Structure 1
Amino acid sequence: MAYDAEDTRRRIFAAASAEFADHGLAGARVDRIATAARANKQAIYLYFGCKERLFAAVLRAKLEELCGTVSIDPDAVAESVGRIFDWYQDHPELIRLLLWDSLEVCDDPDNERERRDAFRGNVRQLAGTDPAAPPDTGRVRAAQDLLFTLMGLIAWNFAVPRMCRMVLDEESEEAALARRRRTVIETARTLAAQHLHSGLTR
């Protein structure tokens, strides 16, 4: 059977996603990734260069997957937030990767620039502005604040699921998350009306 480089890459990527989510950057081991991927360590270094670059590639791909799957419709913010909530629930590794990134990864200007550009696109979409048009400062800034607030409103539920269960006094994390989903959607609806309207009047 011929060597399938793309399949090897996919296996390495899937194994690295699980390893980094469980152990972070410092605790992850390339030999465990290689074993889980049924690949050799040399292939990992060949395709990704080093463990740090592999972590950055995994996180970037997960964020791109989220943005490519669900986006925030400025005319239906609450419904979009519900779909993003569901995506996080189906992909618990993303929040863990983001937390490890905050705890362990030093500033990387090139990586930050790339992610900043992606978020600018999300903001423009939420603000309902043409990407080629001059920025409408009030509306864009309101959309920036709204986007970050919504991200926190969604992600915190998955960052501390046991605390969510205890604060809400529910018997299970599933029941707590179902209740939180309803609350997050309604809160998003209210915040969108307030933020985007205030942006138009600045």
Structure 2
Amino acid sequence: MAMSGPAKTVTQTVSLVVVMGGLAWASVPFYDWFCRVTGFGGTPGVSEVASDEILDQTIKIRFDASQERGMPWEFKPVVREMELRIGETGLAFYEAYNPTDRPIAGSASYNVAPYEAGGFFSKIDCFCFEEQVLAPGERVQMPVTFYVDPEIVTDRDAKYVHSITLSYTFYQIDLPEGYAALETVNDTNLN
């Protein structure tokens, strides 16, 4: 039995809405994966090991920090700029301070500018790989270990990059369960 005109149109419309909703839902993780793999949009790569090649050419790395509106932490790079040889492993620190009287959890998003350098900037280890929780009044220095891939010097666009800026933005997230329970106990004791 064939569907009539209106029933067929409704079925096709509902199917289209379901497919479009599924594509919209999948687009964010797909885009994130695409940016991490290709360095598109200034997203740095992640590496488990340091570069095995170090060139005589140097590159400046600048460090930038900001907080999302409403994030109560103070957050800044310890050193604003360093110069290292391309392929050499660098170590930089960012400092975070929680001036409040309660624990605050945060997570960092990051990117690299100019965008052409994103695929050549590789992080070996970074505080941004995990959420951070700072106790009231706590100040910490958080490391990031990285290198600039020597292939940057042969890339058609990236070979003209002489300075890279690594930027982090911290935003507040919900406290993990253990901390949230502790905060509830402290709130109860205060009342």
Pairwise TM-score range, normalised by the shorter structure: under 0.3
Higher strand share: 2
| Structure with greater helix percent | 1
Radius of gyration: which is bigger?
A: 2
Higher relative contact order (CA 8 A, sep 6+): 2
- How does the TM-score come out when normalised to structure 2? 0.25
